[in-house]
């Protein structure tokens, strides 16, 4: 059985880490699937999905780390008028940060619950906010 | 007070219940892949940019599509949803037979604060005598006009109609009519500066981002194409911040504005005080 759920997130700041673990756990329980996998996938290219420990200090360090890898004042080719959009691209750092975190994670479902380590939380990462974002949660199994 | 004088709400969620109209707007404006924006998102965006008010501009190309892309009534409806955040302008297709009647209704009944016209899209020169009655109405109601000026990315637009020098006759003959050359008349920014220097009733907004990123492009236009000192010393009462959102990036443009080296008092004028003067009050 495969059950797909879509959730919408309105982010509020330029870069933002939002815990979505509970939404994933709720989606798995609603799905009725007892054993299998849950896939969490962002539909965007300037956002990420990451699994890490939920600590303010780590969120700060991760944000600083990504900022050093993709500094705002860097020279980027992705800064030009895009014909397909009819607008100017100005979010290269968002794309690069998203490239580093990746756009998805997978967790195991066992006995109807999401299995994860004690320190693990799933984050939706905004790198070009504020924006209206969509995350797909697919539970697959039996 | 920080005001964005150039915002197009064509994709705001409250006026996009009709998918046919939304598709028409994407095609007619050549803006794609952006989706629709709930007002909560718009307010988040304003907060990130530090903006207090947005001036919402309609788009009425009725002779081309048989209906306005964004109607005056829709602008009024949006303003009513957030009167402390939105300022509404009227739009008419000036060569349409109903234009004068529609404009008086927009000022009188809808309470809209000024008029937006697009010479490049609506195919008229600003000095065209057929617009005299439209200008008369604006003067009678003491309402300013925001004119598109310079390059337009929209389809079916011709830059010859909105080159800054084409506005000189209007500015000279109607000194009591405040006009804003949107997009600073880019690429003819020196012509725009020339008009503002000569005519105090000519304003310009900063809604341009055609190359590079916001800071790089603002630096090129406002410190090299024209030196920052021209605005800081001579044109400081006539330049208004505008982003042309959603085509351009409101948050990064608002940030870039603050880095151009203007005096703090000039920045306050450009960010809001000039807009308040242009509008005749908030």
pLDDT of residue A2: 98
Question: Is residue B51 scored above 90 in pLDDT?
Answer: yes
Given CATH 3.20.20.140, say whether it is the number of domain B3-279: yes
Q: Where are the domains of chain B?
A: 3-279
The answer to whether the Cβ–Cβ distance between A130 and B44 falls below 8 Å is yes
The verdict on whether omega for the bond into residue B187 sits within 30 degrees of 0, i.e. cis, is yes
CA A24 to chain centre: 12
DSSP A15: S
> Which residues are bridge partners to B56 per DSSP?
B7, B88
Residue B105 main-chain phi, psi, to 5 deg:
-65, -40
- Taking the C-alpha atoms of residue B45 and residue B265, their distance in angstroms, rounded to an integer, is 25
Question: Is residue A141 scored above 90 in pLDDT?
Answer: yes
Contacts of A86 in chain B (CB under 8 A): 29-32, 153, 247
CA distance A117 to chain B (A): 34
The answer to whether the Cβ–Cβ distance between B48 and A130 falls below 8 Å is yes
DSSP B184: G
Question: Is residue B34 scored above 90 in pLDDT?
Answer: no
SS3 state at A121: strand
pLDDT in tens, B194-242: 999 999 999 999 999 999 999 999 999 999 999 999 999 999 999 999 9
pLDDT of residue B255: 97
pLDDT band at B35 (very low <50, low <70, confident <90, very high): confident
pLDDT of residue B54: 98
pLDDT in tens, B93-113: 999 999 999 999 999 999 999
pLDDT in tens, A76-107: 999 999 999 999 999 999 999 999 999 999 99
ipTM confidence score:
0.90
Task: Indicate the helix (H) or strand (E) that contains A141.
Answer: strand A132-141
What is the average pLDDT value for chain A, to the nearest integer?
97
Sign of CA dihedral B221, B226, B228, B232: negative
pLDDT band at B33 (very low <50, low <70, confident <90, very high): confident
The answer to whether the Cβ–Cβ distance between A130 and B214 falls below 8 Å is no
- Taking the C-alpha atoms of residue A117 and residue A129, their distance in angstroms, rounded to an integer, is 29
Neighbours of A68 (CB within 10 A): 8
Percent of chain A with pLDDT over 90: 100
The answer to whether the Cβ–Cβ distance between B45 and A130 falls below 8 Å is yes
Question: Is residue A25 scored above 90 in pLDDT?
Answer: yes
Average pLDDT of B4-22?
97
Query: Roughly how many angstroms between the first and final C-alpha of chain A, as a whole number?
Result: 6
pLDDT of residue A142: 97
User: For A2-56+94-141, which CATH superfamily applies?
Assistant: YjbQ-like (2.60.120.460)
Q: Where are the domains of chain A?
A: 2-56+94-141
Query: Roughly how many angstroms between the first and final C-alpha of chain B, as a whole number?
Result: 10
Contacts of B135 (CB under 8 A, 6+ apart): B145, B170, B174, B177
Residues 120-159 of B with CB under 8 A from A: 153
pLDDT of residue B104: 98
What the block records as the tokens of A111 is 């006995």
Render the burial of B50-77: b for 16+ CB within 10 Å, e for the rest: ebebbbbbbbbbbeeeeebbbbbebbbe
């Amino acid at each position: 059985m495969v059950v797909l759920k879509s959730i919408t997130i309105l982010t509020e700041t330029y870069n933002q880490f939002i815990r979505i673990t509970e939404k994933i756990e709720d989606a798995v329980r609603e799905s009725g699937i007892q054993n299998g996998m849950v896939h969490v996938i962002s539909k965007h290219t300037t956002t990420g999905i990451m699994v890490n420990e939920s600590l303010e200090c780590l969120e700060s360090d991760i944000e600083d780390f990504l900022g050093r890898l993709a500094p705002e004042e860097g020279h980027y080719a992705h800064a030009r008028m895009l014909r397909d959009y009819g607008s100017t691209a100005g979010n290269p750092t968002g794309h690069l940060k998203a490239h580093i975190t990746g756009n998805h994670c997978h967790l195991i479902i066992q006995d109807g619950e999401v299995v994860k380590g004690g320190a693990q939380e799933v984050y939706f990462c905004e790198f070009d906010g504020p924006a209206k974002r969509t995350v797909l949660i697919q539970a697959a199994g039996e | 007070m920080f005001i964005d004088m150039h915002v197009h709400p064509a994709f705001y969620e409250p006026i996009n219940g009709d998918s046919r109209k939304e598709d028409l707007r994407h095609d007619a404006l050549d803006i794609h892949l952006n989706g629709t924006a709930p007002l909560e998102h718009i307010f988040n965006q304003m907060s990130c940019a530090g903006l207090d008010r947005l001036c919402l501009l309609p788009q009425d190309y009725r002779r081309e599509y048989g209906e306005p892309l964004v109607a005056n009534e829709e602008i009024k409806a949006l303003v009513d949803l957030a009167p402390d955040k939105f300022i509404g302008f009227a739009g008419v297709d000036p060569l349409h037979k109903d234009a004068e009647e529609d404009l008086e209704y927009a000022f009188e009944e809808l309470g809209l604060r000024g008029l937006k016209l697009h010479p490049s899209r609506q195919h008229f020169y600003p000095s065209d005598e057929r617009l005299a009655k439209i200008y008369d109405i604006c003067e009678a109601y003491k309402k300013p006009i925001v004119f598109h000026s310079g390059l337009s990315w929209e389809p079916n637009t011709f830059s010859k109609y909105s080159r800054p020098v084409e506005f000189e006759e209007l500015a000279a003959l109607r000194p009591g009519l405040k006009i804003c050359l949107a997009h600073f008349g880019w690429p003819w920014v020196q012509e725009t500066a020339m008009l503002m220097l000569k005519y105090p009733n000519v304003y310009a907004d900063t809604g341009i981002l055609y190359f590079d990123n916001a800071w790089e492009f603002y630096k090129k236009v406002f410190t090299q194409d024209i030196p920052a000192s021209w605005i800081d010393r001579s044109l400081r009462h006539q330049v208004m911040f505008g982003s042309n959102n959603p085509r351009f990036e409101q948050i990064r443009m608002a940030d870039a504005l603050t880095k151009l080296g203007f005096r703090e008092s000039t920045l306050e004028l450009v960010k809001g005080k000039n807009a308040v003067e242009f509008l005749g009050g908030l």
